[in-house]
Each structure stands twice: as C-alpha cells, then as structure tokens.
C-alpha cells in the first residue's frame, strides 16, 4: 500500500485557490502510484482561519468547495481538512475542525478533531466542538485511524497531560492498523526534531505505522515548516519530507526501516528558511510584490535585507540609507556594499536638514532645554516618515528591522524605526542575528564583514554604542530567554548566576515596554515564545516577580 503526502501551502480563506492546490497535489500523488492521499489540517480553509469562521458565508463556501473536491475524486481516496458545522441539535461551539474522506465523487466519511489546543498560539476551543468518539475508517481490509494534529500530541514528554482522553489509545483499542495525521503544526526552533521524537514514540507505543502530513507556508506571524514524515511500527522514521517547501511524496508505510531517515537540523539554516518563507508568504499573500527598508549599515537591517532578497528577488527589494549628523561614512558605505552584494537598489537621502528644521520648529516649546533622547527619537521618526513616503509612493511593503532583544527592552522608537508592515527579525535575539549572518556568509561575503565585526550602534548621538545603554547582548539574551520564554522570576534568574541589578533592570524594561509591543508590526515567530501571538500580557498592571 502506498500513501501520498500532499505537503501544500494553503491561503486562509482562498477556497478556489486551495482547491486547485489540493487537486494538483492529489493528481501528482496518483501519478506516483498512491492508493490514498493525505492533505494537512484545514487544508481547504487554511490554518488558522480564526474569526473568519464566524462570517456567515465562510463555512458554507468551505462546504461548497468540499463538494466540488469530492466530485473530482475517483477510486483513490483523498483525505481533506476542512471546517464543518456542529449539528444545530448538539450543544457546544458552532463548528468542527474536520477531515473528510472523499472517494468516487462523494464524501464517504467525516472525522472530527478530538483534542482542541487552547494554549500558546492556539485558540481552538473558541470555535470548535470536539469529537465525541474515535472510530477507524475501514477501507480495503484496513482499519485506518484518522487523527487531526493535536490528537496525537499526548506523549509524556509534554511533562503533564493536557487532556483526559487519548485518541490514539481509543483507535488502537478498536484494532487500528494504521494511523494518519492531518497537521498544521507551526515552526519554532527545535520543533522538527521534537515532532520526530513524538511521532516515533506514538508509532512505537501503538505498534502501527504513523503517516504525518504537515502544512507548509506562513500565515500572519506563524510559519509552518512541513517536514511531513512516516514512522514505521518500530518507531523508526522511514521517510522525512523536506522542510519549508511544498512537495508531494508517495511511500509504503508498512515497509520496514532499521535506521531513521536524516533530518537537516542546523538551527541557522532553519531560522533562515523560516524567515525567507515567512517574508515571501506575508508579502505575496497580502497582495504586494515588493518591499522597502532602511539600511543603516548595521547588522539588523543587513540581515533583514538579505532575507528579503532571498524571498522576493533583488529587483523587488528597495533600500534607503538615511545618514544623520552622527552617522559614520563607514555605515553608509557598508549599506552600499551590502546592496551591491545582494544586487538590490539602495539610495541615499540625508536627514540632517530635516532634523535641523524639526529642532528649530520645536525650539520655542523646548525653551533651550538640553538635547536628550527626544532628539535621538526625532531622527528615527524622520527616517520612519521617509520610509513610509517611499512605501506609499511606490506601493512597497515596509519592513521593520528591529530584533527581539531591542523590542524586549524598548530599545526602539515607536513611530520611527518601528514603522512598517512586517517585523522580519523581531523574534530573533541579537546573538542569533549574528549567528545567522555568519551562516549566510559561510561561502562568500554577502553581509559585509565590517558590518558583522563592528560594535552595534544606533548612531543617534556622538560615539554612541548599544552597550552604553544595554547589558552585553550575551547577558541580555540569556536573561530574556529565561524571563520571556520560560517565565522565570527575577529571583530564579539571579539564582542562575546573573547579576541582580542587571536582571531587575531587564525585567523592569520588559514590563514597561509592553505598550510599545502592542503597537508593533506583526513579527515572524521562530522561538518558542514570540512577542505578539501566543503572549498576552496586560499593559496596565503592577505585578513584580
């Protein structure tokens, strides 16, 4: 028996487009000899559809598309993820996260998702009612257990059970010969390896093969990496699909494998691929074809530009370097060197005269007060004005270039360098920024080495360096990981060996700048806890701990 895995990139709400993607992958799998074809979770609707499901025509159009898909199937079944109504006579939420078994022009079986995640980036209990029973689908003499994403995330490495049901155990107890899983599992660092361990463990415990089809692509802040796979009944990973790209694979899940198929788990490679995919999908799915960004000569804007060029092509990325009275000529030259290496256009517009004009305009109000951070922010906001003007005039999507370390402690200017439609590296700590930049330069110089090697600086006052204001990034990022991603208290972090005053300063800065992050551009998630989706902190609060 051969199963086809259709690792596709749906667009949320694009039912005609998603039907075409599914049918193209279905036919490709048929050409490869597939006896059954599997698509990702909610592949027909796109994941996550969020409150679109409440629109009066969303689910009816989804069901209409499902009927059309069913009419295009023949003897080879197609498993499709979609949104269904909860029966009006049943209590609970109005919808179901569902999978449909399509064959010979009709819907033969419908399966409801049983375990509905409502934590981190997931909010499925807001919309869906869980399935009441788990029954295998009988086909060609096999009993196939159809599960949807969270239904198989029940292994004990999760530290504690989230649910009082285990769909895998329920299906196995009914004689299931094969488990299949339609998934929309978003990426973060370490997730592909975690999935392999989890799915291998499920197969080993159930003593049946597991076929896992994950979606690929990016929707808003979430990046889905694919990495679909097949685990044999012995728990070995006998097939590993590539990550971060659409693909179809056809394989026999009952074939034996003594060794695991390899996984490329280089962290810098995964971050780069995730961000490239995230930029490409966000830009194109939002209807843009090009982007612009400010180039400061620093590492953050350089990495953002390199990712954008990889995602969209150099002809679709426009850079603007905007020196102030405090900018070094070296920074301007680094910006042009980067643009030359990437093959993109970069223009220079000085903000010196605009800066002087704004200061002169405000002089009567400031009453000869000494210059301070106000004048530094003026420069950032003038740059933001120019970049938004370029974005408006030429219909570019403006990319912001701030990293996670800066965003965490508010080392950024709202309505200035925070302007834009997408924050590409806002979930990348500064130390990771350097790591990925060096990885990009592994074969040749793309990001100028002078940019990588020089001390980081905002260049908003004479001889300014980031470390004049911030702790060393190695220290800052270590504290931030414990405080933001692992929710540790200041005392717990201090007990790890970090200096007390530094920890409490970082904690205070993170808490004080929640208001800025609520107004920030959406950012692409690559760590286990990003600012934005999945992190819901109040702005007005007085808790210290």
Which residues does the annotation mark as catalytic? 41, 113, 149
Q: How far apart are CA 532 and CA 535, in angstroms?
A: 6
Least Cα distance to 110 among 66, 141, 152 occurs for 66
What would the two tokens of residue 219 be?
């929707």
In a 13 Å sphere around the CA of 266, the CA atoms on its Cβ side amount to 9
- The dihedral sign for the CA sequence 355, 358, 362, 364: positive
Contact present, 147 and 97 (Cβ < 8 Å): no
Map residue 21 onto helix, strand or coil. Answer: helix
Q: Which of 477, 533, 534 is nearest to 510 (CA)?
A: 477
Q: Is the peptide bond before 48 cis (omega within 30 degrees of 0)?
A: yes
Find the Cα–Cα–Cα–Cα dihedral 150, 156, 162, 166, rounded to 10°: 60
Q: How far apart are CA 282 and CA 221, in angstroms?
A: 8
Long-range CB pairs of 534-538 (<8 Å, 24+ gap) are 534/120, 534/121, 535/484, 538/514
Structure tokens at 472: 């060393």
Asked if 450 and 374 count as a contact pair (C-beta separation under 8 A), the reply is no
Q: Give the torsion through C-alpha atoms of 26, 31, 36, 41, to 10 deg.
A: -30
Structural contact between residues 532 and 523, judged by C-beta atoms closer than 8 angstroms: yes
Question: Would strands 78-85 and 95-103 be described as parallel, antiparallel, or unpaired?
Answer: antiparallel
| CA-to-CA separations, 374 to 23, 352, 355, 470, in angstroms, rounded | 57, 16, 12, 18
Q: How far apart are CA 96 and CA 85, in angstroms?
A: 6
CA 78 to chain CA mean position, Å: 28
d(CA 480, CA 535): 14
DSSP string, 111-122: EE------STT-
**CA neighbor of 522 nearest in space, from 387, 400, 391:** 400
Q: Are 229 and 199 in contact (CB under 8 A)?
A: yes
Burial class (CB in 10 A: 0-12, 13-18, 19+), 266: exposed
Distance CA 263, CA 249 (A): 16
């Amino acid at each position: 028996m051969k199963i086809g895995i259709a690792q596709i990139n749906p667009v949320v709400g694009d039912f005609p487009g998603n039907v075409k993607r599914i049918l193209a992958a279905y036919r490709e799998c048929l050409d490869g000899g597939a006896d059954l074809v599997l698509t990702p979770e909610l592949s027909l609707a796109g994941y996550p559809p969020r409150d679109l499901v409440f629109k009066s025509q969303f689910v009816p159009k989804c069901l209409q598309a499902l009927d059309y898909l069913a009419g295009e199937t023949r003897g080879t079944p197609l498993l499709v993820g979609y949104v269904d109504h909860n029966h009006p006579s049943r209590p609970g939420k109005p919808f179901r996260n569902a999978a449909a078994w399509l064959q010979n022009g009709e819907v033969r079986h419908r399966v409801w998702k049983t375990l509905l995640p409502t934590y981190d980036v997931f909010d499925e209990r807001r919309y869906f009612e869980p399935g009441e029973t788990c029954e295998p689908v009988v086909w060609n003499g096999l009993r196939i257990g159809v599960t949807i994403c969270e239904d198989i995330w029940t292994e004990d490495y999760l530290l504690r059970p989230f649910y009082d049901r285990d769909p895998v155990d329920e299906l196995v107890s009914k004689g299931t010969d094969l488990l299949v899983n339609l998934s929309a599992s978003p990426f973060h660092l370490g997730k592909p390896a975690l999935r392999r361990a989890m799915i291998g463990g499920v197969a080993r415990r159930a003593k049946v093969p597991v076929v896992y089809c994950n979606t690929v692509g990016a929707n808003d802040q979430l990046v889905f990496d694919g990495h679909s796979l097949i685990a044999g009944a012995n728990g070995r990973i006998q097939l590993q699909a590539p990550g971060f790209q659409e693909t179809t694979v056809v394989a026999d899940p009952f074939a034996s494998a003594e060794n695991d198929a390899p996984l490329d788990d280089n962290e810098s490679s995964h971050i780069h691929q995730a961000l490239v995919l995230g930029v490409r999908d966000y830009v194109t799915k939002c209807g843009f074809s090009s982007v612009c960004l400010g180039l400061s000569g620093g590492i953050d804007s350089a990495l953002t530009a390199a990712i954008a060029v990889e995602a969209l092509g150099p002809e679709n990325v426009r850079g603007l370097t905007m020196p102030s009275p405090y900018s070094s000529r070296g920074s301007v030259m680094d910006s042009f060197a980067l643009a030359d290496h990437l093959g993109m256009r970069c223009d220079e517009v000085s903000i010196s005269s605009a800066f002087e004009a704004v200061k002169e305009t405000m002089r009567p109000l400031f009453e000869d007060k000494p210059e301070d951070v106000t004048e530094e922010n003026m420069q950032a906001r003038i740059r933001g004005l120019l970049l938004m003007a370029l974005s408006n005039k030429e219909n570019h999507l403006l990319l912001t270039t701030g990293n996670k370390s800066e965003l965490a402690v508010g080392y950024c200017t709202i309505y200035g360098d925070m302007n834009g439609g997408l924050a590409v590296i806002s979930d990348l700590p500064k130390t990771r920024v350097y790591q990925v930049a060096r990885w990009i330069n592994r074969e040749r110089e793309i990001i100028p080495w002078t940019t990588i090697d020089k001390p980081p600086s905002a260049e908003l006052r004479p001889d300014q360096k980031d470390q004049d204001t911030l702790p060393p990034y190695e220290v800052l990022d270590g504290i931030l990981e414990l405080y933001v991603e692992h929710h540790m208290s200041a005392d717990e972090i201090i007990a790890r060996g970090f200096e007390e005053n530094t920890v409490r300063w970082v904690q205070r800065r993170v808490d004080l700048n929640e208001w800025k992050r609520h107004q920030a551009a959406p950012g692409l998630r690559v760590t286990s806890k990003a600012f934005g989706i999945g992190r819901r902190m109040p702005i007005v609060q007085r808790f210290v701990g």
